[in-house]
Structure 1
């Protein structure tokens, strides 16, 4: 049986869209689209800086949320206090709850779900309740059973640590050679999947440069439509 496992953030939906809407409404200035993108990318960078500490409990989720937006705002010479940062987080969360799947990803999930020889799953990094909210809002239960939904915050270990991939191998009884992982993060998703012998598809719709030359995904796509076409046209 073929097992196909998806990341969530910026793989199944556009994570930047709710952030940009919240930022444009919250900050007392007008951003160009390029500046909004820069602010978003900066916030993700600072979020990644503290992600490991938040996973181990050294840093609270709230402290991470405050840090990533206050530091990102500094790149535009904007100073936010803690209360303002939490206000932005609330606005961002409100927009995040309106998230929708990429249209082509919804089509892909429906296509794969109709095939008896394929099992689907999700593996996402993040705090349990927050990621569970996203899974619920995206209505992934239409295609993926609850016991195939894996959140790092619930497992106590996060991508790219090979242990989280090994947990899934046991839980799903999967065959490494017939397992495909799809994600947008090279460091977390591609490195994590390849190190345990899975196939990996890099959903590189942000058109990032691969940080490593010694390791490559099996496939790279730069648009959700290309991902859909890959499964329609390739014998994976």
Structure 2
């Protein structure tokens, strides 16, 4: 592989941890780890359902953020007002400013950088918010800023093919020697495979494989397995 492109959220770091820390701070309920996982998954479901409307400007980013936590809490019988939801989002953003890369991802990026591989990120989300995460993760150490592709900045979100085509043109990709790594089957794997790229599914949430003709080239369940794929299957990390 000559070019390796990464999703950001829940691929390079554990997005759920920031959410769980915020819940513990802001919601006066006692949760088991399993309940926190379910609440997180519910919030992502509601976020994904409104993402296209947010990207299109049909609703504000703040309204989408308010809805995802209030709707998730409603599923679990937890009351939350709009004002409380805004406070939750502010605390969540503060927690996201503490995110760190998985240890094995650091090792992988170091190795790929030393081998002079072309690296990039492609992430869905609002430009300023995703740029904040990229800065916090210190990704410019390995990936130049001109290789940061954020849907809010480029005008197209995964899995739309235009998002992948913009990168192909900018980086002059050889599709057969390009691999994309992401956690969302619908956005990342479907989008990358339809673009003709190789795709690795970072399935550390252990989601079921959807019934579809599209399959990832590799599936990994944690960052260590991701590193092992590049060592053993792609043989480009020593």
TM-score range for the pair, normalised by the shorter chain length: over 0.9
Q: Could you list the runs of 5+ residues in structure 1 that have no partner in the other structure? A: none
Normalising by the residue count of structure 2, what TM-score does the alignment of the two structures yield? 0.97
Instruction: Quote the RMSD (CA, aligned, Å).
Output: 0.9
User: In the alignment, what sits opposite 1:77?
Assistant: 77
1:34-113 mapped onto 2 (5 Å cutoff): 34-113=34-113
Following superposition, the deviation at residue 191 of structure 1 comes to 0.1
Q: Secondary structure at the match of 2:119?
A: strand
Following superposition, the deviation at residue 134 of structure 1 comes to 0.2
Q: Distance in 1 between matches of 2:69 and 2:136?
A: 24
What is the aligned length? 235
Q: Secondary structure at the match of 2:135?
A: helix
Q: Does 1:124 align with 2:123?
A: yes
User: In the alignment, what sits opposite 2:146?
Assistant: 147
Q: Distance in 2 between matches of 1:212 and 1:105?
A: 29
Q: Distance in 2 between matches of 1:98 and 1:169?
A: 32
User: In the alignment, what sits opposite 2:13?
Assistant: 13
4+ residue stretches of structure 1 with deviation over 6 A?
none
Following superposition, the deviation at residue 232 of structure 1 comes to 1.1
Following superposition, the deviation at residue 213 of structure 1 comes to 3.0
Q: Could you list the runs of 5+ residues in structure 2 that have no partner in the other structure? A: none
Which region of structure 1 is more displaced relative to structure 2, 48-57 or 226-235? 226-235
Following superposition, the deviation at residue 59 of structure 1 comes to 0.9
Normalising by the residue count of structure 1, what TM-score does the alignment of the two structures yield? 0.98
User: In the alignment, what sits opposite 1:220?
Assistant: 219
Q: Distance in 1 between matches of 2:77 and 2:63?
A: 21
